[in-house]
C-alpha cells in the first residue's frame, strides 16, 4: 500500500487583515517526523489544524495522496486519518475507557483488532489502573498520555502533536516520548511543535520554521549545519 502524503500549495492564512503565515509548498508524508518551530502566535497550531482538515486556509489548497476515499457523508478524507492533538487535550465527559475507545466508534477496525489495540494502548500509556476513573480527574501528564493513546488506537497515518510535553514532569515526558517513538516505528508521519529543543524534538528528521509570516522547511539541526541557515527551502 502506498504511503499517504499531504501536499499544501500556495497556503496562506489570515485572520481579518492580519496575515498569519504563507507557505508555497509543504509536504508531510507518512513516516516523516517533522519539528515545527515558531514563536507564540506565529500560527503553529493553526497550520497543524489546517493540515489535519479541521480548518480551511484563507488561500491555497491541500492535496491528499493515498488516503482512502470516504463515503459522501464524510467527504473530508483527513478526518480520522490525520489526527490533531491539542496542546491541552480535550477529554470528553466520562471515564478514561470511554475516551480511549471514542474514535473506534467511527473506524472500520474489526472488533478483535480493536480489542488488541486497546489492550496495547492501555499498557503503553500505563492507564490500566485508571480505566474506570473519570477523565476530568486525571493529572496533566495522564491526560496527555490518554490523548496520545486515544489517537494511537486509530493507527493514524499522520499525527499533529501540539506541544505534547509542555508542563509535564520528567517521567510523563519519558512515557510520552516512548509512545511517540512507537508511533514513529509504526510509520506514522508526525508533525511536532515545541518551544524548546528536547528529547522529543531530537527524534525529528526535518524542521519547519515559521518566521516572518513564512513557513520554511530546513534540514535537522543534528546534521552539523548552522541552524539559522536553512539549507533547503521549500516555501519562503
Partner 1 sequence: MSDGWLALLQQALSLLFSLDPDVWSIISISFSVSFAALLITLVPSMVLGFVLAFAPFYGRWVITNLVQTLQSIPTVVIGLLVYLLLTRNGPLGDLKWLFTQEGMILGQMLICAPVLIALSQAAFTSVDRRAWETSRTLGASWCSAVWTVCRELRMPLLLAIVAAFSRILTEVGCSMMVGGNILNVTRNIPTAIALETSKGDFAQAIALGLVLLILALILNFALGSLRGKAMPRSH
Applying CB under 8 A, the residues found at the interface with partner 1 are: 49, 52-54, 73-74, 79-84, 86, 88-93, 102-103, 105-107, 136, 150-151, 154
Spell 40-70 as b/e; 16+ CB within 10 A means b: eebbbbbbbbbbbbeeebeebebebeebeee
Task: Report in angstroms how near the CB of residue 236 gets to partner 1 at its nearest.
Answer: 29
Nearer to partner 1, 34 or 91 (CB): 91
Task: Report in angstroms how near the CB of residue 60 gets to partner 1 at its nearest.
Answer: 20
Nearer to partner 1, 100 or 180 (CB): 100
Task: Report in angstroms how near the CB of residue 81 gets to partner 1 at its nearest.
Answer: 8
Nearer to partner 1, 102 or 219 (CB): 102
Nearer to partner 1, 105 or 228 (CB): 105
Task: Report in angstroms how near the CB of residue 147 gets to partner 1 at its nearest.
Answer: 8
Nearer to partner 1, 79 or 234 (CB): 79
Task: Report in angstroms how near the CB of residue 41 gets to partner 1 at its nearest.
Answer: 18
Q: Closest Cα partner for 27 from 1, 52, 63, 58? A: 63
Amino acid at each position: 500500500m502506498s504511503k499517504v502524503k499531504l501536499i499544501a500549495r500556495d497556503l496562506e492564512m489570515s485572520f481579518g487583515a492580519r496575515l498569519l503565515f504563507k507557505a508555497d509548498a509543504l509536504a508531510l508524508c507518512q513516516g516523516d517526523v517533522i519539528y515545527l518551530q515558531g514563536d507564540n502566535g506565529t500560527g503553529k497550531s493553526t497550520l497543524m489544524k489546517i493540515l489535519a482538515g479541521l480548518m480551511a486556509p484563507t488561500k491555497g489548497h491541500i492535496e491528499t495522496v493515498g488516503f482512502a476515499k470516504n463515503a459522501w457523508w464524510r467527504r473530508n478524507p483527513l478526518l480520522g486519518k490525520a489526527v490533531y492533538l491539542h496542546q491541552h487535550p480535550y477529554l470528553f465527559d466520562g471515564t478514561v475507557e470511554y475516551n480511549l475507545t471514542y474514535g473506534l466508534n467511527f473506524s472500520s477496525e474489526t472488533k478483535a483488532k480493536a480489542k488488541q489495540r486497546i489492550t496495547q494502548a492501555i499498557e503503553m500509556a500505563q492507564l490500566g489502573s485508571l480505566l474506570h476513573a473519570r477523565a476530568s480527574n486525571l493529572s496533566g501528564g495522564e491526560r496527555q498520555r490518554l490523548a496520545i493513546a486515544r489517537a494511537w488506537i486509530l493507527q493514524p497515518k499522520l499525527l499533529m502533536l501540539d506541544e505534547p510535553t509542555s508542563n509535564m514532569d520528567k517521567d510523563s515526558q519519558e512515557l510520552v516520548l516512548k509512545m511517540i517513538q512507537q508511533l514513529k516505528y509504526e510509520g506514522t508521519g508526525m508533525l511536532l511543535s515545541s518551544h524548546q529543543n528536547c528529547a522529543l524534538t531530537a527524534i525529528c528528521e526535518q524542521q519547519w520554521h515559521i518566521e516572518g509570516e513564512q513557513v520554511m522547511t530546513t534540514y535537522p539541526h543534528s546534521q552539523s549545519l548552522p541552524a539559522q541557515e536553512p539549507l533547503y527551502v521549500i516555501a519562503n
